[in-house]
Structure 1
Amino acid sequence: MSRRSDEAPLRARVPADVEREDRVAFNLTWRQLVILTVIGLLLYAAWTALATVVPPLVFIACALPIAGTGFFLAVGRRDGISLDRWLLAAERHRRAPHQLVPADGPITPAPGWVSTTRGPGDRLPLPAPLRLPAKGITPDGLIDLGPDGTTGLVAASTVAFGLRTPAEQNGLVAGFARWLHSLDGPAQILVRAQRVDLTDLADRLLSRAPSLPHPALEEAARSHVGFLDDLAARRELLHRQVTVAVRSTRSPGHTAHQAAETVRALSGCEVAATVLGSAEACTTLADALNPAAAPSPLRGPSVPNSDGSEEL
């Protein structure tokens, strides 16, 4: 056995919150310091104005709940975000319309003779137009995000990482790390798992078995049909679709270059990848917006695995 095959697998600690804000002082961020400073100044101004008419103990008793609420608002967290941002998002959600419909312009009110039993004045509130981040798809397959730039989609294969030796695993990890270090903009990796039904494949094999030129081939086909039926009965088969999205706020040409560089970089860690065209990108977006539906018949180009085979 070679020496490289004996090396230990690489282990890297990845922080759970890679976008955590920098701590400025007292393990607090600028945002937390500003909140605490504003609350402190307000309490100081209130004490300055009321010091001559309110006893200190009474003022302290009234100020403690306010200071405690402000401190909890500054340092508290909910669902991975700071509590003040969480409360602002909750307030925006409460004020935002909850019924959205696809429309190109403003929603026309219903005629006056239409009556309902809900809402102010016995009328239902009008739905609001649905505004999605994507404005369209360019002929090159880039997703137009308007002021947020463009996004390129890359279909990638999977790698049998657990079947590799420690040296091979280290090479794959190093190749993936080189791609991460080459990024100069946001990137997202989406992995979707969909159930695979082998019934149609087994039926086609069974129907074509009698037409094979040799009885041994027919017997092999029937045996393979039995294997597929047994496999489907004993295991839940899944097909994994991996899509890499790279976004850039620069020109669409830069986004296309980033997508092409992603394909090149991932090939270094034995991941077969291809940039999706306009039709494949449209299908991928449609499937992502309706994950419960059956896979669309129009798929992107088939991406083989690193060993040359293709996933189901």
Structure 2
Amino acid sequence: MEREDRIAFGMTGRQLTILTVAALVLYAAWTALARVVHPLVFVAAAVPILGTAFFLAVGRRDGISLDRWLLAGIRHRRARHQLVPAEGPIAPAPAWVTTTRGPGDRLPLPAPLRLPATGITADGLIDLGSDGTTGLVAASTVAFGLRTPAEQNGLVAGFARWLHSLDGPAQILVRAQRVDLTHVADRILAHAPNLPHPALDEAARSHAAFLDELAARRELLHRHVTVAVRSTRSPGHTAHQAAEAVRALSGCEVAASVLDPGDAAATLAGALNPSAASSPSSLPLAGGRGRAVPDTDLMVADLDGNEFQ
């Protein structure tokens, strides 16, 4: 998906442009230095340049071309890393305020924080200003490895139908967030004495002890799967795309629902603070309504990859 077209020799237009520019620069240099530089010396100097250009053109890092990766690194290096929420430029502090680390070393001023999202609409869509709107869909996972080959082919075919139906950008975000089960054990212990039979009381206390032991021995993670669909046409078209994503994903046994404004805000807050631990009762579950744990199955995994239902 979103692969660049191959123009010639199995290379994209961007790759051919990099190599062409490098070749033209070397040709211009040879034209200017042909009478004063021996050809072997020029070839020895040109080989590293051509090799670097070829490496930039065909190399990849972190899923992107190497030239884009280097440009992103340069922009990151030159950008300010201290950002604050402000409407306009940051005014410098008065001269009498001590803002230096040492003699002649002033601390740089922070830059205004510019977030791409300007708000959340009443329909739960994220307003991106001139970039349109984005709808968020909470999705469940599918036990793909436990299915037969025929069932796996059916799931892949259903997922492919959704991909072919897309007419705009889409993103699938999978996050793992730490889960604290101790408060669930406390709730079970609090309700255990009110159970109608002593055996149920004993089973509840045993389960609470298991949760406490599990929380002490393992660092549990809860997987969040969020599908984001974006459209620059209108909010109504974005909402339609989100609803179509729910319908299409249901064909491959994925339980999905469009997030309402509250759940969309919680998902954004969790994405901006991924290290914050969450309790199971406050997690935006696949149903998108933040239901309590007793009403739904919660699948968690520890850092070793072991899953617990």
TM-score (norm: length of structure 1) = 0.81
User: Is 2:297 the counterpart of 1:310?
Assistant: yes
1:96 to partner: Cα distance: 1.5
User: Is 2:258 the counterpart of 1:275?
Assistant: yes
1:231 to partner: Cα distance: 5.2
Instruction: Give the SS at the match of 1:177.
Output: helix
Match of 2:139 in 1: 156
Contact 2:136 2:228 in 1 (8 A): yes
Instruction: Give the one of 293, 301, 312 matched to 2:289.
Output: 301
Seen in structure 2, the aligned counterparts of structure 1 residues 171 and 247 have a Cα distance that, compared at 3 Å, is same
1:234 to partner: Cα distance: 6.5
Match of 2:92 in 1: 109
Match of 1:131 in 2: 114
Seen in structure 2, the aligned counterparts of structure 1 residues 180 and 295 have a Cα distance that, compared at 3 Å, is same
TM-score (norm: length of structure 2) = 0.81
Contact 1:272 1:303 in 2 (8 A): no
Q: Gaps (5+ residues) in structure 1?
A: 1-17
Between 1:41-50 and 1:248-257, the stretch displaced more is: 41-50
Instruction: Give the one of 39, 51, 62 matched to 1:79.
Output: 62
Instruction: Give the SS at the match of 2:192.
Output: helix
User: Is 2:47 the counterpart of 1:60?
Assistant: no
Q: Which has the higher strand share?
A: 2
Instruction: Give the SS at the match of 1:155.
Output: strand
User: Which whole-Å CA distance do the structure 2 matches of 1:228 and 1:54 have between them?
Assistant: 77
Instruction: Give the SS at the match of 1:152.
Output: strand
> How much identity, in percent, do the aligned residues show?
80
User: Which whole-Å CA distance do the structure 1 matches of 2:208 and 2:283 have between them?
Assistant: 27
Summarize the alignment of residues 178-257 of structure 1 with structure 2, pairs less than 5 Å apart: 178-229=161-212, 232=215, 237-257=220-240
Q: RMSD of the TM alignment (CA)?
A: 2.9
Rg larger in 1 or in 2?
1
User: Which whole-Å CA distance do the structure 1 matches of 2:141 and 2:177 have between them?
Assistant: 15
Instruction: Give the SS at the match of 2:87.
Output: coil
Contact 2:180 2:277 in 1 (8 A): no
Match of 2:241 in 1: 258
AA matched with 1:106? P
Q: For this pair of structures, how many residues does the alignment match? A: 292
AA matched with 2:84? V
Match of 2:306 in 1: none
